[in-house]
Structure 1
Amino acid sequence: MFDLKSIVRPNIYALKPYRCARDDYSSGILLDANENSHGSSLPQNSSFVNGNLERYPDPYQLEIKEKLCKLRNIQSTNRFFLGVGSDECIDMAIRVFVQPGKEKILITPPTYGMYSVSANINDAGIAKVPLIVEGGKFQLDVPSILKEIQQDPTIKLVFLCSPGNPTGTLLAQTDIVQILESGFKGIVFVDEAYIDFCADASCSSLVEKYPNLIVSQTLSKAFGLAGIRLGYTISSPEIAQIFNNTKAPYNISTLTSNIANQALGDGLPVMASYVASIKEQRKLLMIQMSKLPFIGGFLGTHDANFVLAQFVNKQGIPDNGVAMDIYKHLAEISGVVVRFRGNELGCLGCLRITVGTPEENATLISYLQSKDIQEIANKY
C-alpha cells in the first residue's frame, strides 16, 4: 500500500504554505499587497499596458486548470500543479520526495538531462538503469528497474520520459503500469513533454488509479509556447496540494497566464493544425534524408517533433566523426543548427533534428545534398 506521508520529506509534509494577499480576496480596491496602484511603467502604446501587470497574478490559476481539465479529460482542478516549465515540475518532485544527501532518483539513459541536473542541485543520488537500446528500441528494461528499486530502498523517485528525449520513442504503457503495480513505495514520474504528437497515448488517464503516479506535460512543444515557460503536473490531489504548498506564491506570471488561457481556448485548433503539419513534415523529412548515402537510418519510433538520424561512414557503420563534422558545418557554415547526440547511450553517430517549417526543412535537405557535405562524409 502506497503511503504518501512516508515518501514526502518530513519538513515538506509539515510545511505551512505562505499566505499571499490574493488568498482571501482578488477583486475590489486592492490595497493589501503593496502593489503600485498607478499601473505598470510600460509605455502607454504597449500592447501589454492593460494587462493588470501592476497586480500580482492569481496564485491558483484556476482558469488555466479548468481548461486543462477539459483538454486532458481530468475530473478536478485539484489534480494540477503549474510550474515554470516542466523543469520546475521536475525540481519540485525531487525537492518534495528525495532527502538531500541520503536518497536517490532513478533515471533510464538515454534520457532528458535535467533529471540529473536537478538531482545534483538538490544533493540527490542518481541510480541508472539504461533503456533497451539494441536496434534503436529505446524501451524500459522493466526487470532491471524492479530489481534496482527492490535492492535499493533509498530510491524514492523514478523518472520516465515518454516520448523520450533524445529517443523520440513512446514508452510502452504496459511497462509503466508494471512498475506502478510492483509494490514500489516511491513515486513514478512520467515526463510527457511531447505527448501531443501521440494520439491518446498519455498516462494521465492512470492518475486516478495509481496514487504514486505523477504525469508532467508542457505548453512548450505542440503549443509553440516555449517562451512563456508553463509546464504542469497531473497527480493525486494530495500530491498536487503538497506541490502547491511548496511553490513560490506567484510562480506563474500574469503574462504567462494570459497567453496560456488564449492558447487553451481559441488556440486549440491552431495547435492541432501545427501538430498535423509537423507530423506530415516529419514523414517527408525522413523520406528525403533516407536517400542520402551517409544516413544509416532513424532510431526510435519518431513519436515527437524531431527525428534521431544516424550518420554512417563509407562502410555503413555509425560514426561520430561523420555526425560531428556535418553538425559543425551545418551550424557554422550553413547556418542550420541541429543537436549532436552521438555521445548518448545507443545513439552513436546521431544528430537530433527538430522538424521545422516546410521551408526550413527544404533548406536543411538542400545543404545535406550539397557538395561540401558530401566531401565531409567521404572523408570517413
Structure 2
Amino acid sequence: MTIQNLIRPTIKALKPYSSARDEFQGVSAEMVFLDANENPFENGVNRYPDPHQNKLKTLLSQIKNVPTQNMLLGNGSDEVLDLIFRMFCEPYVDNVIILPPTYGMYEVLANLNAVKTIKVPLSNNFQPEIDSILNASNSKSKILFLCSPNNPTGNSFSSIEVETLLNKFGGIVVIDEAYIDFSKQSSWLDRLEEFPNLIVTQTLSKAYGMAGIRLGICYASTEIIATLNTIKPPYNVNELTQNKAIENLKNANLVKNQIGEILKERTDLINELNKINFISKIFPSDANFILIKVDDANKRYNQLISKGIVIRNRTNQHNCENCLRITVGTRTQNKRLLKILKDL
C-alpha cells in the first residue's frame, strides 16, 4: 500500500487555485496591496486572511509537538473530514468503514460525496471488532473511521486493537480525537511518524472551549497534508477565527484548569447518577460527557426538556436503546440536573 495509490487520480492531477496571498507573501509596512481586489479602507478585516494560517500553526506546533508541515486547519472538523473524503474516495466506486454507534457526520459526509458506507458495529463493550472490520473491507475500502474517545459512548479504544488496524487495514485510518484532552490515553499524535496511513483529527471546540469559532485540525504525513492543501478552499479559516484561536491558545493555564474541573465534575456526576433508581447503567467515560441507560429514554428526555434541561437522546443509535448522553456542565448546572433527576 502506498498513499499515492489511494489518492483519487483526478486529485493527483489537480492544479490548485493560486490566490493572491499565495503569489505574494511578503509583509512590509511600505507595501501597497492592490492585487486581491479588496476594499482598501483598513478596518482590521478588509484584507484576506493568511491562507496557510502560519502564525496559528506555529503556536499549535509548539503545543502539540507536531511540525507545521504535518497539519491542516479547517472550518471545523467537518470540513477537514470532507476534504479527506474528497482526496481519497471516488464517488460511486469507493467505500468507507464506520463503527456504530459513532459520530453521525461520517455517514452524512459519505452520502454527500456519493461514497458507500460499510457499517461494522462495535462489540457489546464498544470496542472495534478487528476480524469483522478486516473481513468487511475490500479493495475499494479507502477509509476506516475510529472515533476515540468515541461519541456517543465515551470510551477510548484499545491501543493494541487500533495499532493492529493501522497495520492491517488496506487504506487510510482516521482517528477522530475530538475528546482526547479528557482521556487518560495518549494521543496518536505521538506515533504519527510510524504509520503513513494515519490521519488524526482534533478540534478546539471541546476542551479548548472555542466551538463558536469553528476550527478543526488534521495531522498527517507531509505527503497527505500537501495534497489536502491543494484541494482546500484558499481562505477556509477566516481572520477572526485565527486571531481568537491564537489569543485563547496562549492561555494554557485556563484550559488546563477547566479540563481539570470538568474531570472532577464528571466523577462527582457519575457518583450521584448512580443513586438514581431509573438509571440502570452508567457507561465508562473518557470524554466530557456520560452515556447512561434509563428505563425509558424518550420519557426521561421529554421530562428534562419540560424542566429546562437539554441533553441528547441516543436511543435510536446501534446498541444504545434507552440511552441518554449528558454533557458534563459546571457545578451549578450539574446540581440543577441532579436535583431534577432525583425529583423525577
Q: TM-score scaled to structure 2, two decimals?
A: 0.97
* 1:64/1:264 contact within 8 Å kept: no
Separation (CA, whole Å) in 2 of partners of 1:366 and 1:298 = 18
How big is each residue's C-alpha offset from its partner over 1:76-134, in whole Å with a ceiling of 9 and x where there is no partner?
2100010111111111111110000011010000000000000000000001111112x
- RMSD of aligned residue pairs (Cα, Å): 1.1
C-alpha deviations, 1:257-282, integer Å up to 9, x for none? 001111221x2111111100000001
Matches of 2:319 and 2:332 in 1, distance apart? 31
The residue number in structure 2 matching 1:339 is 312
Contact 2:101 2:319 in 1 (8 A): yes
Q: Determine the structure 2 residue equivalent to 1:94.
A: 85
Equivalent residue, structure 2, for 1:229 = 214
**Equivalent AA in structure 1 for residue 199 of structure 2:** I
Once residues 225 and 37 of structure 1 are traced to their aligned partners in structure 2, the CA distance between those partners, rounded to angstroms, is 31
In the TM superposition, what is the alpha-carbon distance from 1:173 to its structure 2 partner? 1.5
Aligned to 1:15: 14
Q: Give 3-state SS (helix, strand or coil) of 1:55's partner.
A: coil
Deviation string 1:121-164 (CA, Å, 9 cap, x unpaired) is: 0000001111112xxx2111111112222xx2111111110000
What amino acid is aligned across from residue 4 of structure 1 in structure 2?
I
Deviations 1:234-286 (A, max 9, x none): 00001001111100000000000001111221x21111111000000011111
Aligned residue runs from structure 1 range 115-154, under 5 A: 115-133=106-124, 137-149=125-137, 152-154=138-140
Q: Contact 1:3/1:185 (CA < 8 Å) preserved in 2?
A: no
Q: Do the aligned residues in 1 keep the contact of 2:178 with 2:203 (CA within 8 Å)?
A: yes
CA deviation map 1:275-311 (0-9, x unaligned) = 0000000111111111011011212x20000000111
What residue number does 2:342 align with?
369
Worse-matched range after superposition: 276-285 or 24-33: 24-33
Counterpart residue number, 1:49:
none
- Equivalent residues of 1:215, 1:234 under 8 A apart: yes
Structure 1 distance, partners of 2:25, 2:189, is 32
TM-score (norm. length: structure 1): 0.88
- 1:291 corresponds to which residue? 275
Deviations 1:325-357 (A, max 9, x none): 1101211x2110000011212212110000001
SS of 2:194's partner is coil
Q: Could you say which residue in structure 2 is the equivalent of 1:35? A: 38
The amino acid across from 1:3 in the alignment is: T
Q: Deviations over 1:60-79 (max 9, x none)?
A: 111111122222221x2100
The higher radius of gyration belongs to: 1
- Is the CA contact (8 Å cut-off) linking 1:7 and 1:185 kept in structure 2? no
**Alpha-carbon distance in structure 2 between the residues aligned to 1:70 and 1:190:** 21
How far apart, in 2, do the equivalents of 1:146 and 1:161 lie? Answer: 17
- What SS does the aligned partner of 1:116 have? helix
By how many angstroms is 1:25 displaced? 2.4
Q: Following TM superposition, by how much is the alpha carbon of 1:187 offset from its aligned partner in structure 2, in angstroms?
A: 0.4
C-alpha separation in 1, matches of 2:332 and 2:33: 50
**Which residue matches 1:176?**
162
The superposition leaves residues 29-63 of structure 1 with CA deviations (integer Å, 9 ceiling, x where unpaired) of: 211111111134xxxxxxxxxxx200100011111
What amino acid is aligned across from residue 323 of structure 1 in structure 2?
A
Alignment check: 8 A CA contact 1:140 1:175 kept: yes
* Equivalent residue in structure 1 for 2:302, among 325, 328, 331: 328
Cα distance in 2 for partners of 1:142, 1:68 equals: 33
CA contact (8 A) 1:98 1:124 kept: yes
Q: Provide the secondary structure at the position in 2 that maps to 1:181.
A: helix
1:200 Cα offset (Å): 5.1
CA contact (8 A) 1:173 1:203 kept: no
Alignment length (residue pairs): 340
Match of 2:201 among 204, 216, 221: 216
2:289 is equivalent to residue 303 of structure 1: no
Unaligned runs of 5+ in 1: 41-51, 313-321, 374-380
Which residue matches 1:58? 50
Q: Which amino acid aligns with 1:353?
A: I
Structure 2 CA distance for aligned equivalents of residues 66 and 191 of structure 1? 22
Match of 1:317 in 2: none
Deviating above 3 A after TM superposition, structure 1's stretches of 4 or more consecutive aligned residues are none
- 5+ residue gaps, structure 2, are none
Counterpart check, 1:167 vs 2:150: no
